[in-house]
Structure 1
Amino acid sequence: MTQPVLALNNIRKSFGGVVAIEDFSLTIEPGEIVALVGDNGAGKSTLIKIVSGVHAPTAGSIVIEGESVAMSSATKAREHGIEVVYQDLALADQQSVYMNLFLGREVTKGPFGQLDRKTMIAETQRLVDELDVRIPSPHATIRDLSGGQRQGIAIARATRWAKKLILLDEPTAALGVAETAKVEKIVAGLKARNIGVLIISHSLDQVFRLSDRICVLRRGKQIGIRNTADTDKNEIVSMITGLSA
């Protein structure tokens, strides 16, 4: 049997006297998409930052494929095969698609470390073709692309470097219907690559289309986890709000 790509055990996070996350536990299997839902202030972004190494947990453990790890920085998270796609995408608008895909990880060649543009362009083309991200060319400048294309590039970059897990924070929040559908297709395709996905989304329609399981947070507390196929929107809404369905 394979180990979960991520196991969070009894995670707690406090900022001074304020408890942001209280006793949170979750596992994500290879190729599984888990949705994290809850109202604003529920603790979703804090949890993403804990997994991605931005915040250290006050208590509890983080286990990657059976190995307990200290996620002390974002660099450490990347070393463990974890990549994040934030709402603002963190793309360099003035740079080309291929330079964004290798931002901070440029391929070099020769004794003087010249940029190996040919290799980076070829790898970018291969990846966008594989994920069906339709762009004019790897040479296209990010600022000239649509919102959906930019989101596709951000996910492609995460896919290029993630070995185990991708964290998606509201990946389609600013997109229209057609572009949202395109990005969802890319996310769904990550299952075939055996990469675990933890996605934050306010859209329950999207959550039910994409996820295998749904984890509900309310005011920093884990309310419950449901198999998507075994629940409905009414139950999830009641868990989010604390009101009976």
Structure 2
Amino acid sequence: MADTAPFLSLTGVTKSYGPVEALKGVDLDVHAGDVLALVGDNGAGKSSLVKILAGAHPPSGGEIRLKGEPVHFASPGDALQKGIATIYQDLAVAPRLSITENIFLGSELTRTIPGLPGLHLLDKRRMRREAGALLTRLSVNVADADTPVERLSGGQRQAVALSRALRWDARMIIMDEPTAALGVQETRLVLDLIRRLHAEGRTVVLISHNMADVCAVATRVAVLKGGRKVIDRGIDGVDADRLAHMVMTGREG
């Protein structure tokens, strides 16, 4: 069953905050290698769904399956251990730390000293080398991996956050409004990063209000409205204007 099942499958997922129903029985399949865009107006349920997928909030009801097997994410760290990384709009980077330090934050590499097996030191050289390799893999040119992240552009910071997810070998990467507040050139860089993840066979869930960005990189789109999934289809034949109409009306026609 696991060989043919979607990478991640939601069945009848609900989420309530007291009397408020944010999600009302959402069914959603995320297939390996998809770039699935989640779109909808404010209050449609996107944020609640992302927090459930990320392991930040438990669902109130329904079932989640990972590669065909029931799964419960106890925390974002638990979701990450199971191959799902989430990159929020604020990126959760430490601006004053270097690129290398951000990529390896919480998973630093160490080395031993000959003759002192109990003593471990940070292996800065290896971390710097691997950080550079991860950025090269994403076709991002940064002169020095010791550069503080606060000196990077918005698109480059996205690359650092993605490199950290790749460092953990995440198979599914959730990107929450990755192009928000970016200029044209930086947006192009982020969209190219998503294309590279797709080319690697990674699964991407993209949350965006920018319909043009969605149409540029997504393979599928799911429209949420009032806490329900109302549309789930391939992106072929859909342009930004039509997608905006689908979001507004909740209908394909």
Specify the alignment match of 1:90 in structure 2: 92
* Contact 1:82/1:165 (<8 A) preserved: yes
Residue identity opposite 1:93 in structure 2: P
Shift in CA distance, 162/21, structure 1 to aligned 2, threshold 3 Å: farther
Specify the alignment match of 2:29 in structure 1: 27
Rounded Cα–Cα distance in structure 1 between residues aligned with 2:173 and 2:207: 11
Shift in CA distance, 217/137, structure 1 to aligned 2, threshold 3 Å: same
* Contact 2:231/2:250 (<8 A) preserved: no
* DSSP 3-state at the match of 1:231: coil
Specify the alignment match of 1:126 in structure 2: 133
- Unmatched tracts of structure 2, length 5 or more: 113-117
Specify the alignment match of 2:181 in structure 1: 174
Rounded Cα–Cα distance in structure 1 between residues aligned with 2:94 and 2:241: 41
Specify the alignment match of 1:196 in structure 2: 203
Are 1:211 and 2:211 matched, yes or no?
no
What's the TM-score, normalizing by structure 2?
A: 0.92
* DSSP 3-state at the match of 1:11: strand
* Contact 2:39/2:247 (<8 A) preserved: yes
Are 1:227 and 2:234 matched, yes or no?
yes
- Unmatched tracts of structure 1, length 5 or more: none
Rounded Cα–Cα distance in structure 1 between residues aligned with 2:159 and 2:170: 18
Shift in CA distance, 114/24, structure 1 to aligned 2, threshold 3 Å: same
* Contact 2:23/2:49 (<8 A) preserved: yes
Residue identity opposite 2:99 in structure 1: V
Rounded Cα–Cα distance in structure 2 between residues aligned with 1:153 and 1:189: 14
Q: CA deviation at 1:55?
A: 0.6
Rounded Cα–Cα distance in structure 2 between residues aligned with 1:48 and 1:162: 20
Aligned length: 245
Percent of pairs identical after alignment?
A: 39
* Contact 1:9/1:25 (<8 A) preserved: yes
Q: Please, which moves more after superposition, 114-123 or 208-217? A: 114-123
* Contact 1:83/1:162 (<8 A) preserved: no
Deviations 1:124-146 (A, max 9, x none): 11110110112121111111111
Specify the alignment match of 2:42 in structure 1: 40
Rounded Cα–Cα distance in structure 2 between residues aligned with 1:84 and 1:134: 23
Q: 1:5 aligns with which of 4, 7, 15?
A: 7
Residue identity opposite 1:12 in structure 2: T
Structure label with greater radius of gyration: 2
* Contact 1:6/1:62 (<8 A) preserved: yes
Alignment of 1:30-179 (within 5 A): 30-110=32-112, 111-179=118-186
What's the TM-score, normalizing by structure 1?
A: 0.95
Rounded Cα–Cα distance in structure 2 between residues aligned with 1:107 and 1:243: 49
Q: CA deviation at 1:2?
A: 4.7
Residue identity opposite 1:19 in structure 2: E
The runs of at least 4 consecutive aligned structure 1 residues that moved more than 6 Å come to none
Deviations 1:148-177 (A, max 9, x none): 211221122222224320000000102100
Q: Please, which moves more after superposition, 110-119 or 121-130? A: 110-119
Q: Cα RMSD over matched residues?
A: 1.6
